[in-house]
Amino acid sequence: GAATGDLSKRSKKQVNKPNLNRAACVHKRMWSDFIMDLLLFLNNYGCEVTPGSNASVFDFNGNGIFDQSDFLQLLSNQPPPYQWPRLK
């Protein structure tokens, strides 16, 4: 109800205010997540998918095996490179 509406209004206000430090932290978090996902995938590469495991989300084609097409799909989801602010 009202509490949900108030929360969404606050969230929109916070999103509209740019903060370079926050953007850098979010970007680093995205890369760290990607690297951890990549390590988890490589650990399971060539194996059958165990339903409900943390790695099961990486079976993008749904064939039950972590294979080359899943690996390429994971690589295509990597975050963009960080753009450092220009010094004046």
Mind listing the pLDDT tens digit for each residue in 49-67? 998 998 999 999 999 999 9
Residue 73 structure tokens: 């799909």
Read off the pLDDT of each residue in 9-24 and give the average, rounded to a whole number.
49
Q: Which of 12-16, 32-36, 42-46, 80-84 is modeled with the greatest confidence? A: 42-46
| Helix 68-76 × helix 20-44 angle, to 10° | 180
pTM for this structure?
A: 0.60
Q: Specify the amino acid at residue 17.
A: K
Mind listing the pLDDT tens digit for each residue in 22-46? 445 555 568 888 999 999 999 999 9
